[in-house]
Chains A and B, each alone.
Chain A
Amino acid sequence: MRPDAGITALEGREEHRGGSGLALRLDDVHVRFGDTQALRGLSVEVGPGEVVAVTGPSGSGKSTLLLCLAGLLVPDTGRVTVGYTVVSSLPDDARTRMRRSEIGVLFQFGELVPELTAVENVLLPLLFSGIRRPVAHDRAMAWLRRLRLDDRADEQVSGLSGGEAQRVALARALVIEPTVLLADEPTGALDTPTGQLVMREMVDTVRASGTTAVIVTHESRVAAYADREIHLRDGAVLGEPAVGRSGLPGSAARS
């Protein structure tokens, strides 16, 4: 694989074009931060319902890729498409609306609002969408029940364990029933058993709902839960290892 600019991950994945359509697509995306070229001509396609891990060393552009997909960062050049919408050409408020309905985002440190209870954190995106409190509360509770956190619903964030807080953040990302879930190092702040629990919950949930997921990670253990791995180096795709490496939890789950 060539680490230079313009290398794509499209080769061999033409089956995702047309037909059922693509969930996500990046075309020749360039992003520069000052003197640093974070993404150089990156092109990636992700099919509906696919779970993709984005791996690579620190500074390879993984998180920048995720921010582009979330519409939180507009590339200097290139195109980012989510479903049939070209996110990169939308104005900021339209991208914000899109995050309320189509894109769930999960961060490494959860990023819950500390003063709110667990259920209030989960229902917050629904309130931003203009949904009435009782309806939002019911939906948030349903997600907490699904993640076996309903007994912690009225707990302040400070009273939750790291794993619980991350699962609440997962519920907050999924409560809008997004077509795409974007997770940035979702287990990076957790110990191994808790991280595995969160990953299992996350992957089971997105698979059950047919949600497309892109998981940025540097842990091979986490990447193994994915259908496919995209490895970045210096802002470009380095290669795509074979699907489901034997002996890792992902292959076991898929088999």
Chain B
Amino acid sequence: MTGQSSSGPEQPTLSTRSVGVGRMGGSGRLGGRDAWWLAVRGGHLDGLRIALTAAASSIAALLVLVGGDIARRPTYLPYLPGLLTDRGLLPGVLLALALTCLPALAVAGFATRVGAARRSARLRTYRLSGASTADVRRVLGIEGALAGLLGVVGGLVLYAVLVGVIAEFGSPAPLRRDLVGGSSEIVGWHLAPAVGLRVADLLPHAWAIAVAAVVVPVAVLAAAHLAARSVDALTHADPPSRRPVRLAGRALPLLLAGGVLAVVLVAWIADGRANAAGLPVGALSVVLVVTGLLDAGEAAASSLADIVAPRTSRATVLLAARHVQATPRAMTRSGRFLVIACLVGGIAAGAGSTTLAARDVDVEFFSQSYALVGVLIAIAVGVGALALLVGVVEVIVTRRRLASATRAVGAPPGAVGRAVVLAAIAPVAPAVVLAWLAGAVAGGSSMSRGMGSPVSVPWGWIVVCGLVTVLLLALLLTPAFVASRRMARVTELRTAA
């Protein structure tokens, strides 16, 4: 059979197993086996949620395992040979890895909400069948724990693959040029063979495994617990309003406010006062600039949608434009990590370029440091793009019914998915490019003032980074679009939304 799943409509059913008071036994509480069964019973959407959560957890677990390796063997690193030779950089690298874990775990937290509306309906059914709120929390907790443990296993697999690839093909290593005075600078990269990699190196450190096995599931459980607060089967809260929010009237003020805020803060940072105020103010500035950039991106996309929607002859563009107008924040919320990563990346690029252009600096140390920062920024950008992917999948899942309806009226498969991806990229892409540019200017200016050297912004490099990020987004969102082609289930239209 084609065109529709042969298993029929995906509906939660309790017909084959009771969840009622009878199952609670004498304790009046849902048994562990039953809670497990209910946690994994939900069908494709719950499988997708668990898979996404596990994928994000895997990245966090991988970072923990790599961090454990770096802490254990700082002198021998198969990952970036010849880059982490300065022991003084080690604490910074470990801290950066730990910080990069946070967005990965946050993405896992986002992922625990994918398909929340459908899950709420299923959990409501459990409640009506006699399950208590504690039972429902237990079901959610088991689902979160399962995803977290799968994430740890996934992290171990990724680690093995990473080390295996390094053993087979080598790893990126810097090309250095000797300078006068005995030091050197990095002038490029090449693939260096992993000489002396032993079988024991394929195994991560036992402590790192232990930390990953505890930290990742606990974090995912905490995220699942937070996500459970929005489950109406627990709170009896009304479902969120679907009333569309039109941005047309406030597009221009928002654009102006976001733009002005971004410029003022960039100038403020560039003036060097952020350095004096310390890390919290700097971090706050980054958040405010990101918010400003995202607001500007939203407003620009919404204004563009206002112009395009009444005129376009392309159905996908019409759906995307109206979606952007109705829910302007749907995508930028999950694009926040990406924009933060790009802004920090831009700051690092500007600061690094200006530092290395200055006279009387330890070129070897700084080029090594900024190269390491670059590697971490690349990881952070990947995690940020994953966050956006989770956001897109969530929107595609919530629009599954619409996808089914449009299929029935002759839309090609994936039309709604294409519209969602377009609506996701439209507001985030300009914010990403602006973040790289604003960050580079701020980083370069700030470092220039601090070091008394001329500003050096690597414009070509920044433009490449911006374009590569947008390309990465497009590549990463392609699976979401492909998955959306299989999402339509017309039989679902026979029941009320």
Binding site for B on A (CB under 8 A): 31-34, 36, 38, 63, 67, 70-76, 92-93, 95-97, 99-101, 104-105, 107-109, 111-116, 120, 124-125, 127-129, 131-133, 136, 156, 158, 172-173, 176, 184-185, 189
Contact = CB atoms under 8 A, between A and B. Distances in A.
B318 A120 contact: yes
A136 B315 CA distance: 11
Contact of A95 (B3, B8, B242, B326): B3
A191 to B, nearest CB: 15
B410 A115 contact: no
Contacts of A104: 409
Given A113-B319, A115-B323, A115-B326, A73 B3 contact: yes
B243 A158 contact: yes
B396 to A, nearest CB: 15
Interface of B: 1-4, 6-8, 242-244, 311-315, 318-319, 322-323, 325-326, 401-402, 404-413, 415, 490-491, 493-494, 496-497
A173 B7 contact: no
A74 to B, nearest CB: 5
A128 B490 contact: no
A58 to B, nearest CB: 10
Nearest to B408: A105
A131 B311 CA distance: 13
B496 A109 contact: yes
Contact of A127 (B313, B323, B493): B313
B494 A108 contact: yes
A122 to B, nearest CB: 10
Nearest to A116: B322
Contacts of B404: 111
Given A99-B409, A111-B493, A132-B313, 12 more contacts: A72-B4, A92-B2, A96-B407, A96-B411, A107-B493, A111-B404, A114-B326, A127-B313, A128-B406, A129-B410, A133-B311, A184-B493
B1 A74 contact: yes
B318 A114 contact: no
A189 B278 CA distance: 61
Nearest to A175: B409
B410 A67 contact: no
Nearest to B322: A115
B324 to A, nearest CB: 9
A36 to B, nearest CB: 7
Contact of A124 (B407, B409, B491, B494): B409
A184 B315 CA distance: 25
Residue of B326, B405, B497 most packed against chain A (CB within 10 A): B405
Contacts of B411: 96, 124-125, 128
B494 A74 contact: no
B401 A111 contact: yes
B2 A74 contact: yes
B271 to A, nearest CB: 43
Given A34-B8, A114-B242, A120-B318, A128 B3 contact: no
Contact of A99 (B243, B410, B491): B410
A128 B405 contact: no
Contacts of A109: 493, 496-497
A92 B413 contact: yes
Given A72-B490, A99-B408, A124-B409, A189 B4 contact: no
A78 B152 CA distance: 49
Given A73-B4, A95-B3, A114-B242, A125 B322 contact: no
B412 A128 contact: yes
Nearest to A108: B494
A158 B242 contact: yes
10 closest Cβ pairs, A-B complex: A33-B8, A100-B410, A111-B405, A127-B315, A115-B322, A115-B326, A99-B410, A133-B313, A73-B4, A105-B408
Contacts of B6: 32-34
B492 to A, nearest CB: 10
Contacts of A38: 8
Contacts of B7: 33-34
A160 to B, nearest CB: 13
B2 A67 contact: no
Given A63-B494, A111-B493, A128-B415, A172 B409 contact: yes
A238 B4 CA distance: 26
Nearest to A131: B313
Nearest to A185: B494
B313 A184 contact: no
22 contacts: A31-B1, A38-B8, A70-B408, A71-B3, A72-B4, A72-B408, A73-B3, A92-B2, A99-B408, A99-B410, A100-B409, A101-B410, A104-B409, A105-B409, A109-B493, A111-B401, A114-B244, A115-B325, A116-B322, A125-B411, A128-B410, A133-B313
A24 to B, nearest CB: 17
Nearest to A111: B405
A128 B415 CA distance: 9
B318 A127 contact: yes
Contacts of B407: 72, 96
B174 to A, nearest CB: 50
Contacts of A114: 242, 244, 326, 402
B242 to A, nearest CB: 6
Contacts of A36: 8
Nearest to B325: A115
Contact of B314 (A63, A120, A127, A176): A127
Contact of A189 (B402, B406, B490, B496): B496
A106 B402 CA distance: 14
A222 to B, nearest CB: 16
A158 B405 contact: no
A114 B323 CA distance: 9
Contacts of A127: 313-315, 318
Contacts of B315: 124, 127-128
Contacts of A107: 405, 408, 493-494
Residue of A63, A96, A101, A136 most packed against chain B (CB within 10 A): A96
A99 to B, nearest CB: 4
Residue of A67, A113, A189 most packed against chain B (CB within 10 A): A113
A185 B407 CA distance: 18
Contacts of B496: 109, 189
A147 to B, nearest CB: 17
A101 B407 CA distance: 13
A63 B322 CA distance: 31
Nearest to B409: A125
A172 B315 CA distance: 14
Contacts of A116: 318-319, 322
Nearest to A64: B491
Contacts of B8: 33-34, 36, 38
Contacts of A113: 319, 322, 402, 405-406
A173 B405 CA distance: 11
